[in-house]
Amino acid sequence: MARQRKPKGRPVSGWLILDKPIDFGSTEAVSKVKWLFKAQKAGHAGTLDPLASGMLPIALGDATKTVPYVMDGRKIYEFTVTWGEERATDDLEGDVTQSSDKRPARADIEALLEKYTGVIEQVPPQFSAIKIDGNRAYDLAREGETVDIPTREVEIHRLTLIGCPDENSADFEVECGKGTYVRALARDMGRDLGCYGHISALRRPFVAPFSEDMLVPLSELTALEEVEGDAERFAALEAFLVDTSEALANLPHVPVTDEQARRLKLGNPIILRGAHAPVEEPEAYASIGGRLIAIGEIAEGQFKPRRVFG
């Protein structure tokens, strides 16, 4: 029988709510954080383009099991659209593909906002991670191909015009659901206004259920590379971590005892007692002392674990 390979790295778990800097890719950021923590596993919830800054939640260890719950959360973006040019990437990186001397009046921009609020149809950018016949759209676009990307429904909860610094640009804030491309929003508004447009600045300050005060600048993490002692350095890094259960803040919570936690870890259901005990919930989580034990469902007065945590 083959010997089971021991995982490389430290079994550290939790969420790091990184404030990603501009000109730093999401995959690059995850790799850097994983290396700093010497973590066995790492992943992120929601890609940020290299030219975008802001909240990039990074899961370490067991927290990677909760990534889908953060991916489904609402997000807020602050962005600037520059009018007069449409670009291949729908942001500053791409070549200009369309141009116009027309500039929109503020009233015309405001009149357009309602069209982009609610559930809307959106075509993702050519330079996006959408898969077309097994290939990433951005890989095909880099090879010079123009691909037919199907429209899809996305939800815009709120779109606000913050201001117009000059006739050439406008600042917005959008609160949206999973899968929304802000670059596509800028592209489509520019087309509707007859002047073209592209993203010239983009920041994400919020990804539910995490808050802006949890943000950790990358510079604060890399500064700890100067600490020589491993124990001291890792302790300082781990002080920035948010408990894994924070990712599940929007789910019903079941506090459990030590004995119940032991049963759940073995994959066994537990009976929920008390007048206020929930009876039916498709998804909930159980924890003890702030430590995540399991994610599961509540049915027939029992919590039934589907995924357990160490």
pLDDT tens digit at each of 310 positions of the chain: 455 566 788 999 999 999 999 999 999 999 999 999 999 999 999 889 899 999 999 999 999 999 999 998 999 999 999 999 999 999 998 899 999 999 999 999 999 999 999 999 999 887 666 666 666 656 655 666 677 778 899 999 999 999 999 999 999 999 999 999 999 999 999 999 999 999 999 999 999 999 999 999 999 999 999 998 999 999 999 999 999 999 999 899 999 999 999 999 999 999 998 777 777 899 999 999 888 999 999 998 899 999 999 7
* Res 132: pLDDT: 65
Per the structure block, which two tokens stand in for 151? Answer: 């429209």
DSSP state of 114: G
* Res 254: pLDDT: 92
Q: Which residues, at least 6 apart from 1, have a Cβ–Cβ distance to it below 8 Å?
A: none
* Res 183: pLDDT: 95
Per the structure block, which two tokens stand in for 281? Answer: 């919930």
Q: At what angle do helices 26-37 and 230-238 cross, to 10 degrees?
A: 130
21-61 confidence digits (pLDDT tens): 999 999 999 999 999 999 999 999 988 989 999 999 999 99
Question: Which candidate, 126, 149, 153, 154, places its Cα nearest to that of 138?
Answer: 126
* Res 273: pLDDT: 83
Buried b (16+ CB within 10 A) or exposed e, 209-232: bbeeebbbebeebeebeeeeeeee
Q: What is the pTM of this model?
A: 0.90
Active site residue 49: yes
> Choosing from 19, 49, 91, 188, which is the catalytic residue?
49
Give bridge partners of residue 66 from the DSSP assignment.
none
* Res 275: pLDDT: 72
* Res 75: pLDDT: 97
Task: Supply the DSSP string of 252-284, one letter for each residue.
Answer: -EEE--HHHHHHHHTT--EE--STT--S-EEEE
Q: Which residues, at least 6 apart from 115, have a Cβ–Cβ distance to it below 8 Å?
A: 192
145-194 confidence digits (pLDDT tens): 677 778 899 999 999 999 999 999 999 999 999 999 999 999 999 999 99
Give bridge partners of residue 291 from the DSSP assignment.
288
